[in-house]
């Protein structure tokens, strides 16, 4: 108890010190600083009581199981027989996840390299190439076969499958893939074929003869727009580096066939394994100056490192005759449902649940008004006028991600510090954003967010030349709150002037705008007041009707992300058609695609007008290769985690920049308040006093509720929906990568939320005779408890259609004594406050935000099977 109190005291004193200092950003107002300081003091006093200590202990979350537990480390000394002559003899590479893989991203990190130079007329120097291969070497099954590697699609120097070579430089191992020439007009040519998993081979050298009709670098199996290879990934001055690699399955790349079911020697079937291959490249290829030859040629390939990749099955057969149940609404729970589905539908009597992502509000209206409505998913309550008789069951705790893939490109002129220059081409791993910066991105107020030749005079002070920055990274507002290193960067791209955003309506959009409108600086900017550096809002997105050319103020919060500026780039003399903002910066299909494009460095840019096309058009520009990526994307944290997209840290109501992590989600959950008109639903309100007193809370944290009408006449559907909720709220909250577990990008729901969900499941299954569950008293939802306490037996299935009892299945090893958790139910002195479980005592609440200051490493990974 003393240790807990001391910890709380330390946190309060540190927070108080911060609050008494000059704020790092004007968004931390005097009102907020005083409010937080008062709350912390009150929280410390009350925290000294027994009830306060109990609450504090319960709010100390246990870190979720790390999905990188299948990480593998390989070294040149272990795998390369000739490592002494390798480009980097001390190279050690770690792959973050190698089992239970699907279409996703993995993090490849390394040490022991050398400082790199970026590609130019050659492939660069001292870098790594990374690729995915499907076949085993017939001479050594413990190694990959280079003819089965997806490589060459970008056509960049040093990264093609074929090259002309000097005859004397051809390695013996490459002779079978070589056409020997004898003149300048007929040079010697080596080409490594691609042997696909389908059985077809793409080869431009057959029986020692070159076939001019075959292109081994662009073919039916991969092109520059589909390949996942990384032709260049550089190291810093210390020889270390990281890269996000896209893992592809047979669904995306039949030529690799990874994860497809194949017959094993014993007659059973299993998903096909594949390889992740890392090829180190030095400074020169044999016989030439610079890196210009293929990494598949033997002299480079012989130094490769390889890691075996094991995949989840690409499909799961549900029980024959299983009922099919529709789930409709929020995309935020999509990855969790995809994981839960195999456990649910293969259980005895289990149903198959199919998710259709639609507007959250539409799914709620349908659930309320239709007797055959799908189970709805939403983060906000129904609010369209009819009496809300729906039952809300919390099943997920997640958030919205502002993801980015930005590689360094320092200015070419002036004095450049050596430590800055040495990082050229490597990726940034952190940025800070404020509500005002988000408002700028979403209001298309940066110059490059509009077509190049469009009239942009309105993106500046009235009557003055345009004064707005070209993009986020050039904005003094951004530079003031981020690492000084950004001031040396010269990053130009329209995809840094806005966000990749999904089309349609959603509670996600509402929460983003709500976050923006909670901040006075952002509100003032949208109303037309210049920021301290003179930047002004795009008037078409101004909330001030006197500023907005439409003579109607832009309304926020709202459920969508409109592209309101009608400005067009006019038709040009070359015949190019007018170009508006929607064509210039297109929407993505969903949050998942936004994260996927960020992983691939695809900013959805347009190329120049192609008069040769039929019909002529603006083609899509090629995506950027590693080292030149510039993408900002709005996604959900689960998709960002799946695809290894790094998320920005956001300024919260307490004046802290916080990244999305399980801990920051739980801190936000503890500071949530009931939604207006519906006490079953909690929301994180950045303008609330609770948010001001929660310095470790991530401000775009969102709950997801499974919602149904207990008055529905379909009792079988109600029973299946209840079974879904029971699994989701218990065994489905066990973090991990296996089917049935909770993917990264979510936090296990707090204990009280589980209790509410189980009571809601009973109410839904029983029907109108059972009253809807009511949340506990107090102004906040119940506090969190460790993730392991939410699971029944390592992710096993809950028996469908069985009513819940008590608080649901528990893991006895983590129920409280060893972890010091008491918040699962009321203490002896607490009143019985209903099925949602014990809420944080109101007196202790004010200081509990600070008590959640538990450090947690930001993890990002990633929805495409």
For residue 67, pLDDT beyond 50: no
Domain count, the chain: 3
Query: What is the distance between the alpha carbons of residues 188 and 168, in angstroms, rounded to a whole number?
Result: 10
401 domain-assigned: no
Q: Are 481 and 650 in contact (CB under 8 A)?
A: no
DSSP bridge pairs for 391: 708
Residue whose entry in the numeric block shows the structure tokens 């055959």: 372
For residue 201, is it left (φ>0), alpha (ψ between -120 and 50) or beta?
beta
Tell me: do 616 and 693 sit in the same domain.
no
- Residue 476, helix vs strand vs coil: helix
Listed range (311-315, 399-403, 543-547, 590-594) with the worst mean pLDDT: 311-315
Listed range (21-30, 155-164, 352-361, 521-530) with the worst mean pLDDT: 21-30
DSSP bridge pairs for 650: 433, 658
> Residue 348 — pLDDT band, cuts 50, 70, 90?
confident
Tell me: do 52 and 88 sit in the same domain.
no
Query: What is the distance between the alpha carbons of residues 67 and 862, in angstroms, rounded to a whole number?
Result: 11
The 10s digit of each residue's pLDDT in 127-136 is: 999 999 999 9
Look at residue 690 in the predicted model and tell me its pLDDT.
97
Look at residue 774 in the predicted model and tell me its pLDDT.
57
Listed range (101-110, 500-509, 785-794) with the worst mean pLDDT: 785-794
Strands (E), 609-746: 630-636, 646-647, 649-651, 657-658, 673-675, 678-683, 701-708
Tell me: do 506 and 563 sit in the same domain.
yes
- The two beta strands, 92-95 and 104-111, are antiparallel
The 10s digit of each residue's pLDDT in 386-444 is: 999 999 999 999 999 999 999 999 998 778 999 999 999 999 999 999 999 999 999 99
Look at residue 816 in the predicted model and tell me its pLDDT.
28
Look at residue 1 in the predicted model and tell me its pLDDT.
37
Helices 2-20 and 842-851, packing angle to 10 deg: 70
Backbone angles phi, psi at 709, to 5 degrees: -100, 110
H-state helical runs in 223-325: 298-301
Tell me: do 251 and 338 sit in the same domain.
no
> For residue 539, what are the domain limits?
408-628
For residue 463, pLDDT beyond 60: no
Tell me: do 577 and 702 sit in the same domain.
no
For residue 121, pLDDT beyond 70: yes
What would the two tokens of residue 377 be? 């998913």
Q: Are 232 and 113 in contact (CB under 8 A)?
A: no
CA 512 to centroid of chain Cα atoms: 16
Look at residue 543 in the predicted model and tell me its pLDDT.
98
Tell me: do 21 and 91 sit in the same domain.
no
Comparing CA positions, the residue from 590, 633, 648, 861 lying closest to residue 742 is 861
DSSP bridge pairs for 375: 327
Look at residue 369 in the predicted model and tell me its pLDDT.
94
Q: Are 781 and 694 in contact (CB under 8 A)?
A: no
Residues whose CB is less than 8 angstroms from the CB of residue 86 and which lie 6 or more positions away in sequence, other chains included: 76, 80, 280, 303
Tell me: do 202 and 66 sit in the same domain.
no
> Residue 316 — pLDDT band, cuts 50, 70, 90?
confident
- Residue 733, helix vs strand vs coil: helix
What would the two tokens of residue 822 be? 């008491």
> Residue 466 — pLDDT band, cuts 50, 70, 90?
low
Tell me: do 280 and 345 sit in the same domain.
no
Listed range (457-461, 541-545, 790-794) with the worst mean pLDDT: 790-794
Mean predicted confidence (pLDDT) in 619-636:
95
CA–CA distances in Å: residue 176 to residues 172, 180, 192, 327: 8, 10, 9, 56
For residue 664, pLDDT beyond 80: yes
DSSP bridge pairs for 110: 93, 241
Q: Classify residue 311 by burial, with Cβ atoms within 10 Å: 0-12, 13-18, 19+.
A: buried
User: Residue 552 CB: number of other CB atoms within 10 A?
Assistant: 9
319 domain-assigned: no
Tell me: do 139 and 216 sit in the same domain.
yes
470 domain-assigned: yes
For residue 99, pLDDT beyond 70: yes
Query: What is the distance between the alpha carbons of residues 240 and 429, in angstroms, rounded to a whole number?
Result: 14
Q: Are 812 and 763 in contact (CB under 8 A)?
A: no
Q: Are 664 and 631 in contact (CB under 8 A)?
A: no
For residue 339, pLDDT beyond 70: yes
CA–CA distances in Å: residue 836 to residues 120, 618, 662, 852: 61, 55, 21, 21
The 10s digit of each residue's pLDDT in 252-284 is: 999 999 999 999 888 899 999 999 999 999 999
Tell me: do 120 and 204 sit in the same domain.
yes
For residue 9, pLDDT beyond 70: no
424 domain-assigned: yes
For residue 146, pLDDT beyond 50: yes
User: Residue 128 CB: number of other CB atoms within 10 A?
Assistant: 27
Q: Within 13 Å and on the Cβ side, how many CA atoms surround 463?
A: 0
Listed range (60-69, 332-341, 752-761) with the worst mean pLDDT: 60-69
Query: What is the distance between the alpha carbons of residues 337 and 414, in angstroms, rounded to a whole number?
Result: 53
Residues whose CB is less than 8 angstroms from the CB of residue 476 and which lie 6 or more positions away in sequence, other chains included: 469, 533
> Residue 516 — pLDDT band, cuts 50, 70, 90?
very high
374 domain-assigned: no
Look at residue 833 in the predicted model and tell me its pLDDT.
27
Residues whose CB is less than 8 angstroms from the CB of residue 595 and which lie 6 or more positions away in sequence, other chains included: 401, 403, 633, 635, 636, 639, 640, 642, 643, 645, 862
> Mean pLDDT, the chain, as a whole number?
84
The 10s digit of each residue's pLDDT in 704-722 is: 999 999 999 999 999 999 9
464 domain-assigned: yes
834 domain-assigned: yes
Strands (E), 225-374: 230-234, 241-247, 261-263, 269-271, 274-281, 305-309, 324-329, 352-357
Tell me: do 30 and 121 sit in the same domain.
no
> Residue 324 — pLDDT band, cuts 50, 70, 90?
very high
Comparing CA positions, the residue from 493, 460, 438 lying closest to residue 604 is 493
The 10s digit of each residue's pLDDT in 733-786 is: 999 999 999 999 999 999 999 999 999 999 999 987 655 555 543 334 443 333
Comparing CA positions, the residue from 22, 21, 25, 20 lying closest to residue 41 is 20
Tell me: do 99 and 50 sit in the same domain.
no
H-state helical runs in 470-542: 476-479, 507-517, 520-527
The 10s digit of each residue's pLDDT in 790-835 is: 333 333 333 343 333 333 333 322 222 222 222 223 322 323 323 2
760 domain-assigned: yes
Q: Are 306 and 74 in contact (CB under 8 A)?
A: yes
Query: What is the distance between the alpha carbons of residues 605 and 181, in angstroms, rounded to a whole number?
Result: 42
Helices 715-729 and 751-766, packing angle to 10 deg: 170
> Residue 222 — pLDDT band, cuts 50, 70, 90?
very high
Q: What is the pTM of this model?
A: 0.83
The fraction of the chain above a pLDDT of 90, given in percent, is: 75
């Amino acid at each position: 108890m003393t240790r807990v109190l001391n910890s709380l005291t330390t946190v309060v004193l540190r927070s108080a010190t911060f609050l008494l200092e000059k704020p790092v950003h004007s968004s931390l107002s005097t009102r907020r600083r005083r409010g937080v300081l008062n709350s912390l003091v009150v929280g410390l006093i009350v925290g000294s009581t027994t009830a306060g200590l109990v609450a504090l202990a319960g709010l100390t979350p246990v870190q979720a199981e790390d999905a990188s537990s299948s990480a593998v480390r390989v070294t040149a000394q272990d795998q390369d027989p000739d490592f002494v002559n390798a480009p980097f003899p001390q190279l050690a590479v770690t792959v973050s996840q190698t089992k239970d893989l699907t279409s996703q991203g993995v993090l490849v990190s390394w040490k022991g390299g050398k400082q790199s130079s970026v590609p130019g007329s050659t492939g660069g120097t001292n870098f790594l190439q990374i690729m995915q291969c499907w076949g085993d070497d017939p001479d050594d099954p413990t190694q990959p076969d280079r003819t089965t590697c997806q490589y060459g699609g970008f056509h960049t120097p040093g990264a093609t499958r074929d090259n002309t070579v000097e005859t004397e430089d051809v390695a013996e191992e490459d002779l079978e893939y070589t056409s020997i020439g004898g003149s300048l007009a007929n040079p010697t040519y080596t080409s490594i074929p691609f042997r696909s998993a389908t059985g077809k081979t793409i080869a431009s050298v057959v029986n020692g003869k070159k076939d001019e009709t075959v292109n081994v670098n662009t073919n039916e199996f991969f092109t520059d727009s589909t390949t996942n290879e990384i032709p260049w990934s550089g190291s810093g001055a210390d020889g270390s580096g990281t890269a996000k690699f896209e893992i592809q399955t047979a669904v995306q790349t039949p030529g690799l066939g990874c994860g497809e079911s194949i017959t094993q020697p014993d007659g059973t079937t299993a998903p096909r394994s594949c390889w992740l291959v890392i090829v180190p490249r030095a400074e020169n290829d044999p016989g030439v100056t610079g890196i210009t030859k293929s990494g598949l040629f033997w002299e480079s390939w012989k130094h490769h490192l390889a890691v075996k990749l094991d995949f989840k099955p690409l499909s799961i057969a549900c029980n024959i005759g299983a009922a099919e149940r529709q789930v409709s609404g929020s995309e935020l729970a999509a990855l969790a449902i995809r994981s839960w589905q195999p456990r649910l539908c293969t259980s005895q009597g289990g149903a198959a649940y199919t998710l259709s992502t639609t507007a959250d509000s539409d799914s709620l209206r349908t659930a309320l008004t239709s007797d055959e409505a799908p189970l709805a998913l939403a983060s906000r309550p129904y609010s369209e006028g009819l009496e809300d008789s729906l039952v809300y069951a919390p099943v997920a705790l997640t958030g919205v991600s502002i993801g980015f893939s930005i590689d360094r490109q320092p200015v070419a002129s002036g004095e450049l510090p050596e430590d800055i220059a040495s990082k050229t081409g490597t990726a940034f791993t952190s940025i800070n954003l404020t509500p005002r910066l988000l408002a700028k991105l979403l209001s298309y107020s940066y110059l490059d967010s509009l077509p190049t030749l469009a009239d942009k005079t309105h993106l500046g002070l009235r009557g003055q030349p345009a004064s707005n920055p070209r993009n986020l990274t050039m904005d003094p507002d951004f530079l003031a709150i981020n690492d000084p290193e950004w001031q040396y960067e010269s990053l130009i791209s329209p995809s840094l002037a806005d966000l990749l955003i999904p089309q349609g309506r959603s509670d996600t959009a509402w929460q983003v705008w709500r976050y923006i409108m909670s901040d006075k600086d952002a509100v003032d900017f949208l109303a037309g007041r210049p920021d301290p550096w003179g930047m002004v809002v795009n008037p078409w997105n101004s909330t001030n009707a006197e500023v907005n050319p439409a003579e109607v103020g832009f309304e926020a919060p709202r459920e969508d992300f409109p592209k309101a500026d009608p400005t067009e780039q006019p038709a040009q003399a070359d015949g190019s058609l007018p170009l508006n903002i929607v064509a210039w910066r297109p929407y993505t299909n969903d949050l998942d695609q936004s994260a996927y494009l960020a992983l691939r460095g695809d900013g959805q840019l347009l190329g120049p007008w192609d008069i040769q096309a039929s019909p002529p058009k603006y083609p899509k520009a090629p995506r950027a290769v590693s080292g030149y990526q510039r993408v900002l994307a709005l996604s959900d944290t689960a998709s960002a985690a799946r695809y290894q997209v790094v998320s920005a840290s956001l300024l919260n109501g307490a004046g802290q920049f916080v990244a999305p992590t399980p801990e920051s989600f739980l801190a936000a959950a503890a500071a949530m308040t009931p939604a207006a008109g519906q006490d079953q639903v909690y929301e994180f309100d950045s303008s609330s006093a609770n948010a001001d007193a929660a310095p470790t809370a991530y401000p775009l944290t969102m709950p997801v509720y499974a919602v149904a009408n207990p008055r529905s006449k379909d009792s079988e559907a109600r029973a299946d929906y209840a079974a879904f909720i029971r699994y989701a709220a218990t065994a489905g909250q066990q973090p991990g990568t296996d089917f049935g577990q909770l993917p990264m990008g979510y936090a296990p729901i707090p204990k009280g939320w589980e209790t509410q969900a189980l009571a809601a499941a009973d109410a839904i299954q029983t029907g109108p005779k059972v009253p809807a569950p009511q949340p506990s008293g107090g102004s906040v939802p119940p506090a969190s408890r460790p993730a392991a306490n939410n699971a029944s037996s390592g992710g096993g299935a809950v028996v469908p259609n069985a009513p819940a009892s008590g608080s649901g299945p528990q893991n006895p090893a983590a129920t409280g004594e060893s972890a010091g958790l008491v918040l699962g139910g009321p203490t002896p002195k607490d009143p019985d406050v209903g099925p949602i479980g014990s809420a944080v005592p109101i007196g202790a609440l004010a200081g509990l935000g600070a008590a959640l200051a538990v450090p947690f490493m930001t993890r990002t990974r990633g929805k495409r099977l």
